[in-house]
């Protein structure tokens, strides 16, 4: 007679089943707690923002230099908090961008306000603070006129030093020299637009109280048609919301009458003529 042995496992006891379920559901519960805690820390809990001094009732709005000084006192543990109370100025300055753009004092908008987690600003502390370099404009055009214009400014309250060397002009002449609104040379120098005039003034001489910011007067050429010189200007800014960065320098074919020509065009362009050469003001290496 043959025998067949069949193995049949005993049914799991109730206690074993209980512990299996506890382990399974316990892992799911642990995972849920971790996820919920992370979401709470990142999107709900709002630690205080950067420290600020209380303002007195009679206090006036501080200027750019004082706001920059107070910003330097903010510690890393402060800037590592949510950015929802920051202005664009504070973020730009912390990241090493000292130029002030239009609307810079507006609060940060979406998606910046969603960055309530600290990781972004903690990581950004390793970003090097790059000092602004001295801008340069390389002048070219359809004519033989060409040259280079350099700009230097240490801080916004300082005058800007402007240096130029421009060749190809008529000898022993005065030629109009201006900063224009746009850094657009797609249609030649014509697309650079009008003189840079953020305060909506009439055209004048560089030393006049009423003038365009872009009114640099005339350059003087020598017997070879070369103009070389240096000047300082308090209205021309590399820093601040009226920065000339990204705009154009234009050399004209005629003499700027400095707004004293006695006609309407004189108060706009100084009757300085056509635009043989221009260049966009950009950051130098």
CA distance linking residue 180 with residue 191, whole number of Å: 10
CA distance linking residue 1 with residue 105, whole number of Å: 99
Q: Which of 237, 85, 92, 41 is nearest to 154 (CA)?
A: 237
Q: Name the catalytic one among 175, 203, 211, 247.
A: 203
- Cβ burial of 29 (10 Å; 0-12, 13-18, 19+) is exposed
Across-strand partners of 167?
146
| Contacts for 208 with CB less than 8 Å, ≥ 6 apart | 215, 258, 259
| 129 given a catalytic annotation | no
Structure tokens at 9: 């496992």
DSSP 175: E
Q: Name the catalytic one among 195, 233, 256, 257.
A: 195
- Length of the chain in residues, anyone? 285
Q: Name the catalytic one among 212, 233, 256, 257.
A: 212
Residue with tokens 């109009």: 176
| 99 given a catalytic annotation | no
Q: Name the catalytic one among 81, 99, 175, 178.
A: 178
| 21 given a catalytic annotation | no
Helix (H) or strand (E) holding 137: strand 136-139
Q: Name the catalytic one among 81, 99, 175, 215.
A: 215
| Contacts for 210 with CB less than 8 Å, ≥ 6 apart | 201, 202, 204
Tell how far CA 138 is from the center of its chain: 21
CA distance linking residue 28 with residue 229, whole number of Å: 76
Q: Name the catalytic one among 81, 175, 180, 247.
A: 180
Q: In this structure, are residues 162 and 233 in contact, taking their beta carbons and an 8 Å threshold?
A: yes
| 212 given a catalytic annotation | yes
| Contacts for 80 with CB less than 8 Å, ≥ 6 apart | 118, 121, 122, 125
CA distance linking residue 120 with residue 242, whole number of Å: 30
Please list the active-site residues. Answer: 178, 180, 195, 203, 212, 215, 252, 275
């Amino acid at each position: 007679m043959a025998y067949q042995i069949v193995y049949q496992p005993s049914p799991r006891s109730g206690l074993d089943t209980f512990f299996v379920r506890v382990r399974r559901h316990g892992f799911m519960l642990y995972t849920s707690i971790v996820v919920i805690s992370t979401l709470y820390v990142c999107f709900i809990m709002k630690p205080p923002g950067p420290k600020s001094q209380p303002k007195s009732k009679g206090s006036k709005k501080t200027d750019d230099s004082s706001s920059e000084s107070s910003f330097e006192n903010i510690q890393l543990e402060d800037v590592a908090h949510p950015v929802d109370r920051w202005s664009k100025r504070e973020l730009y300055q912390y990241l090493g961008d000292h130029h002030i753009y239009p609307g810079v004092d507006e609060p940060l908008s979406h998606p910046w306000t969603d960055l309530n987690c600290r990781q972004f600003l903690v990581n950004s502390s390793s970003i090097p603070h790059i000092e602004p370099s001295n801008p340069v404009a390389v002048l070219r055009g359809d004519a033989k006129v060409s040259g280079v214009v350099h700009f230097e400014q240490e801080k916004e309250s300082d005058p800007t030093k402007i240096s130029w060397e421009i060749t190809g002009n008529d000898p022993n002449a005065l030629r109009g020299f201006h900063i224009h609104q746009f850094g657009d040379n797609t249609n030649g120098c014509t697309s650079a637009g009008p003189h840079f005039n953020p305060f909506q003034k009439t055209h004048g001489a560089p030393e006049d109280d009423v003038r365009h910011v872009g009114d640099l007067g005339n350059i003087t050429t020598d017997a070879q048609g070369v103009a070389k010189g240096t000047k300082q200007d308090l209205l021309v800014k590399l820093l601040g919301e009226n920065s000339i960065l990204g705009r154009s320098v234009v050399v004209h074919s005629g003499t700027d009458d400095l707004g004293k020509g006695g006609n309407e065009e004189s108060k706009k362009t100084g009757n300085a003529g056509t635009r043989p050469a221009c260049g966009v003001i950009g950051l130098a290496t």
